[in-house]
């Protein structure tokens, strides 16, 4: 149980890694990984060496997940966490980070849109038949058949 020898009031305040993961929307492995790379502080352990967490950890992990959902890199998240930990500092840096990220997102959007348009075009122009006459294969074989100018996205369009 969790009340074997607790501090007086608020017992039940510690949860295990599985519960933390559930409440913050990620997996236990990921939590351990985040601890390993220092995004989360090393959790205190119980007598059986298992990690115990409080609401603070839930909040921090939720913040991390959310920032990652927005596509911020782990390094960016690390900086955001540091900033969030210093509420009296000016938020210019947060702003800069967010704007830089937005710019990246927009660049990706542009490339991905170009790819979608070209894919759509080449699929529409294919009218069945055999591969020797397949427009899709033709376009892939010969860049000049593309409506786009340069290389579409640089192989990591989707990343």
Partner DNA sequence: CTTGACCCTCTAGTCGCTATAGGTATTAAG
Partner DNA sequence: CTTAATACCTATAGCGACTAGAGGGTCAAG
Contacts with DNA, residue ranges (CB under 7 A): 1-2, 16-19, 21, 26-30, 32-33, 43, 45-51, 68, 73-75, 155
5 burial level (CB within 10 Å; 0-12, 13-18, 19+): exposed
- Determine the interface stretch with a second copy among 1-9, 11-19, 48-56, 82-90 (rule: CB under 8 A): 82-90
Token code pair at residue 65 = 């997940």
Give dist(CA 129, CA 117) in Å, integer.
23
Please say which residue, 53 or 114, places its beta carbon nearer to DNA. Answer: 53
- Determine the interface stretch with a second copy among 2-10, 13-21, 38-46, 76-84 (rule: CB under 8 A): 76-84
Give the dihedral of Cα atoms 94, 95, 101, 106; nearest 10 deg: 160
15 DSSP β-pair partners: 53
152 binding partner (options DNA, a second copy, none; Cβ < 5 to 8 Å by kind): a second copy
Q: How far is the CB of 6 from a second copy (least distance, A)?
A: 29
* Cβ atoms 11, 54 nearer than 8 A: no
Binding-site size for a second copy (CB under 8 A) equals 63
By CB under 8 A, tell whether 95 contacts a second copy.
yes
């Amino acid at each position: 149980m969790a009340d074997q020898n607790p501090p007086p009031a608020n017992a039940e305040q510690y949860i295990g890694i599985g519960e933390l993961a559930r409440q913050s929307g990620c997996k236990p492995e990921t939590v351990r990984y985040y601890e390993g790379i220092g995004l989360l502080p090393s959790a205190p352990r119980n007598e059986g060496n298992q990690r115990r967490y409080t609401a603070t950890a839930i909040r921090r992990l939720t913040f991390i997940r959310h920032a990652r959902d927005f596509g911020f890199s782990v390094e960016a998240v690390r900086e955001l966490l540091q900033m969030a930990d210093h509420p009296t500092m000016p938020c210019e840096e947060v702003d800069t980070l967010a704007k830089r990220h937005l710019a990246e997102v927009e660049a990706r959007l542009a490339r991905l849109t170009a790819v979608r348009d070209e894919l759509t075009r080449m699929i529409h122009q294919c009218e069945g038949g055999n591969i020797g006459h397949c427009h899709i294969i033709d376009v892939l074989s010969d860049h000049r058949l593309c409506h786009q100018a340069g290389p579409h996205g640089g192989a990591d369009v989707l990343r």
